[in-house]
Structure 1
Amino acid sequence: MLGAPTARHFVIAASLCLATLSSAMAQNMVSVKGSTLNMRSGPGTHNDILWELKKGYPLQVVKRQNKWLQVKDFEGDTGWVAGSLTSSKPHHIVKRPTANVRSGPGTQHRIVGKAVYGEVVRTREKRGKWVRVERSDAPNGWIAKSLLWGW
């Protein structure tokens, strides 16, 4: 006869659920492929343009309808984009007023720059609670994952 589940069993089950959720979220993320992309009120070019998004802007896919994706951004706004104009290249967006960009993955590393709210950064590597980012016209480096939204 099997015994009752232990705390270890629950930790393992929770870890598997988180890994699955994390993998599912990564698969449900896209970024803007070209220089700009129109987010629309519905699936199709006949719908109103809500926003114009810039290259790399990360979006979470909520629903798929033919060649259109219903997406949500880091502020929770939703709209529709043409799937062909999106990419699977990982990006993040700064979700705090400012974020220190550091020379390495940790607060012990020196600050090499600052990123601001809404700035899109290319994701290059993830290490624990840190993300190595590439920025256009600004120093590259590491930002704490808690200050970012995206992949």
Structure 2
Amino acid sequence: MSFALPRFATTLSTAAAALALAAPLFAASAAQARDFVSIKGNVVNVREKPTTRSDTLWELAGGYPLQVQSKNGKWLKVRDHEGPLGWVFAPLTTKTPHRVVTSSSANLREKPGTNHRIVGKLEQHEIVRTLSSQGSWARVRREGGQTGWVAKRLTWGW
């Protein structure tokens, strides 16, 4: 004895199958959207459109962290802690993690935690290289080589 599924069940199973096939694509897009990059070199132009013939909107210093919103060929549409910026040429970026100080200043500490000795003061907009992470703290290195720990909430990046 055989029976036919009701029409809505067939439509539902077809939709579920299509969604199951598309899920990896959505996951890849979401993962790409959370990717971070940093500026490679001294200064890189952020452009209005993904072409070198487009207007320059910003100039960013080496190490500046960016979050990738989307990709178009070898171009990355990026944002920073304040919002969308524009397009950068992907070969001018690196996967080396950096953070930018977003607070007016931040204490650089000997060890992670507010009860440890302050070894320096980071300035707003200062870019630091991320060396490691422990909970809500990041171990960073300044341009001059000084290392220490900073509260992540006072910075943005990875």
> What's the TM-score, normalizing by structure 1?
0.81
Aligned counterpart in structure 2 of residue 73 of structure 1, from 75, 80, 87: 80
1:75 deviation in Å?
1.5
Give the equivalent residue in structure 1 for 2:12: none
1:115 deviation in Å?
0.6
Give the equivalent residue in structure 1 for 2:71: 64
AA partner of residue 121 (structure 1): V
Q: Secondary structure at the match of 2:153?
A: helix
Give the equivalent residue in structure 2 for 1:142: 149
Is the 1:43–1:68 Cα contact (8 Å) retained in structure 2? yes
1:101 deviation in Å?
0.3
1:60 deviation in Å?
0.3
1:138 deviation in Å?
6.2
Map of 1:106-145 to 2, 5 A cutoff?
Answer: 106-137=113-144, 139-145=146-152
Give the equivalent residue in structure 1 for 2:36: 29
CA distance in 1, matches of 2:104, 2:32: 25
Is the 1:113–1:138 Cα contact (8 Å) retained in structure 2? no
1:136 deviation in Å?
1.1
1:116 deviation in Å?
1.2
Is the 2:33–2:68 Cα contact (8 Å) retained in structure 1? no
Give the equivalent residue in structure 1 for 2:50: 43
Distance change >3 Å, CA 83–CA 115, structure 1 → 2: same
AA partner of residue 92 (structure 1): R
1:139 deviation in Å?
3.0
AA partner of residue 66 (structure 2): L
Greater shift, 79-88 or 130-139, is seen at: 130-139
AA partner of residue 103 (structure 2): R
1:78 deviation in Å?
1.6
Q: Secondary structure at the match of 1:63?
A: strand
AA partner of residue 75 (structure 1): E
| Number of residue-to-residue matches in the alignment | 130
1:106 deviation in Å?
0.6
Give the equivalent residue in structure 2 for 1:89: 96
CA distance in 2, matches of 1:75, 1:138: 27
> What's the TM-score, normalizing by structure 2?
0.77
1:33 deviation in Å?
1.1
Greater shift, 45-54 or 27-36, is seen at: 27-36
Q: Which runs of 4+ in 1 moved over 4 A?
A: none
Unaligned runs of 5+ in 1: 1-19
Aligned-residue identity in percent: 50
Instruction: Look at both structures and tell me which one has the larger radius of gyration over its CA atoms.
Output: 2
Give deviations 1:12-49, integer Å, cap 9, x for gaps.
Answer: xxxxxxxx9xx948961000011111001110000011
